[in-house]
Structure 1
Amino acid sequence: MRIRGHFSRIAQTAILSVVVMVYLCQAGVAGQSTCAKDLAPEPVKETLEDGLSYKDDIVLMCSDGKCEKLSLGNIKNAYPGAFSSKKEAQKSTGLKYNTYVERVPSACALKQPAAASPSAAAQLIRPICRRFWSDRDGCCPTWRYVTFHNGPLKNIFGRRCYILQIPYLRLYQYISVGLCGWPQNCNGRCTQQYTIQSMLAWCPGNGGIRMHHFRIPTYCSCQQVRG
């Protein structure tokens, strides 16, 4: 009887643990390892283009005519710190939002007056470029902004990936981007520099949603040209 009672208490404890885990996942306070079982995609009959598609709180992942679906609510609960609002992203970085671009638009280029100093010319930002912030470096300026990227974007291994977002809640994986501006007094070559950033993404043929590493342009530096 004691043995049977002992096993009964173990079973009750196990059931209670499962209930607590489910509650934490639904409440959005559990970690990824707790809710990982909720991140397995389910097959769905859809005919869509390759990539990610969003329908309310569901993300559809399609490749080669086959689609799978996954709950965005489960993803948000498993990775609570991965997504933020536009307002939060701008406040935390001190940068203005701009749609993702790979280089500063040529329309932002400034014709510096002959009598004006480089620092004065750097303040003459055209209206179309007000969403960019320049560090006003006198050699190789870096133009910065905050944004998010849907993809496709190649990860550090060269695999094509799609960055996951949560559009129905207006939550995105924001990144800070820094692009090379126009060389001024660089005694060499202004070179784009990158950092490795991790983002939740889906790479066709490489499993479901998980963290992948990407090279993101972050600043500009002047490098000597070797003869």
Structure 2
Amino acid sequence: MSVREIIPTQSAYLELKAERAGMQEGYRFLDEKRLILASEILAQLRDYEDTMARWNQAQSVALAALRLAVGRHGIEELGIYPASPPTDFPSPGAPRSVLGVAVVSVPPAPLAEIPGIPAKAADPRAAPVLEQQPQQAGAATVLRTPEAEHCRACFAPLPQLAARLATLTGNLERLRREYLRTARRARALEDVLLPELDATLRAVDTALEELEREEAVRVRTLAV
């Protein structure tokens, strides 16, 4: 631990005391910031894990439905099956600031409210029975079947869940970077700067006491 080379004067001592008070206040702020960021990270992680569980469930249902659809149509015929209409994603909310970190809020998409995916039963054979009918005029002739329709319905929520996972991943990455930066600064104050300043204060205080004793001895000597 190094000690600053400072001329031991009362004004220098007072300046060091004021500097230490400001540094201690900065450390308290960084420590509180670490706690707030950690709390937000945990909240985002819980949301991410919940969304990932929904993704895994939806993906398993979709893959099972895909196997049935491929078994019914084959890869080539399923590849020209009519595509689903564009998915309307919920608009993300305005980013909120968590101590300077932008956190984007996305409305949740409960699995039970997404058409085509049962909330509890993950059996792709539970597809509704649809009558086979030709595709619209001008398109390749493909018969609509229960397996293909159910497969399309099961894959429909995946883009929305993927977008939500991407948003949460971005939030977590920004929070992680800010937390690490804050933690490094707090550790630098706690482990290096504050101990170094305390050592300097002790050295200056000791030097001032010695000067006072020398001055007292000199005054007594002159008085004699």
TM-score by length of 2: 0.26
Higher strand share: 1
Return the structure number with greater relative CO, CA threshold 8 A, min gap 6.
2
Higher helix share: 2
